[in-house]
Amino acid sequence: MQAEAFFNELWTDYVSITPQAKKIRDLFTATDGEVINDHVAFRTFANTPLRLDLLEPLILAMGYERQDSYEFKAKKLRAHSYIHPNPLVPKIFCSELLVNQLSDSAQKIIGKYTAEITQQPQDQAVFWSGRHWSMPSWEDYNTIMTESEYGAWLLAIGVRVNHFTVSINHLTTADAIHTVLGRVKDAGFSINTVGGEVKGTPESLLEQASTLADRQVFEFARGDQHEIPTCFYEFAKRHADAQGFVYQGFIEANADKIFESTNAS
């Protein structure tokens, strides 16, 4: 699959559970004409047929190369980022939950559901395929939530993009992240304030911010209906280093706080 078709499919799935994203993009297209996507991100479970190492070949097949690797020890995650030779094609950040680092009870709950995964991913459609297991019970969802918000989100939402990202560098009417956030807040959207509204600094070469995730009612096992977080929209401003090269990577400390955008509280 070509990257353009891939991102078109992702966007269609994304806005179906993240209506704020279309509204925010429209806010900026009205003044800038076009909004360039800096990157997208995915979540999955380690040690399953959907593990990161099996998703990676599908990303590389679209012309990407692995850019860097990351560890989030407190959240029990590992991740890879990927970059495309065409600078206008969004970067991809893909992470996985190291389930074997959770408690025995959490491992059993997650294992009960991931045992239902029937096959390895065959093509890029896996990235908007949702759950490959039954909807969890509300009890199981909350039990996992006490150990891993990431894991609870993934159990309920499944494998799908959890955010797109406005590239502030490509906007023509706003070049500062605080200006962008001001417009977003004035339009009525809430911002993730964990670690401050802006994660990172110009000196670290990457500033990031994000909305709080949209919320949607889902029907859990046994018919329980509850409203839970879905996906969010991010904003990234990249800065040039001393040699004049605009930084293209990711910073673990920033990403760690961006993960909080889907927190249930």
Number of compact structural domains in the chain: 1
User: Does the pLDDT value for residue 37 go beyond 80?
Assistant: yes
Share of the chain above pLDDT 70, in %: 99
Domain that holds residue 158: 3-262
Provide the pLDDT for residue 119. Answer: 86
pLDDT digits (tens, 9 = 90+) for 180-223: 999 999 999 999 998 899 999 999 999 999 999 999 999 999 89
User: Does the pLDDT value for residue 29 go beyond 80?
Assistant: yes
pLDDT digits (tens, 9 = 90+) for 136-183: 999 999 999 999 999 999 999 999 999 999 999 999 998 899 999 999
Kindly report the number of other CB atoms within 10 A of residue 190's CB atom. Answer: 13
Confidence (pTM): 0.95
Q: What is the mean pLDDT of the chain?
A: 94
Q: Domain of 11: which CATH number? A: 3.10.180.50
Provide the pLDDT for residue 144. Answer: 97
pLDDT digits (tens, 9 = 90+) for 72-81: 999 999 999 9
User: Does the pLDDT value for residue 265 go beyond 80?
Assistant: no
Residues 6+ apart with CB under 8 A from 261: 163, 192, 210, 211, 212, 213, 232, 234
Please state the rounded mean pLDDT for residues 92-113.
97
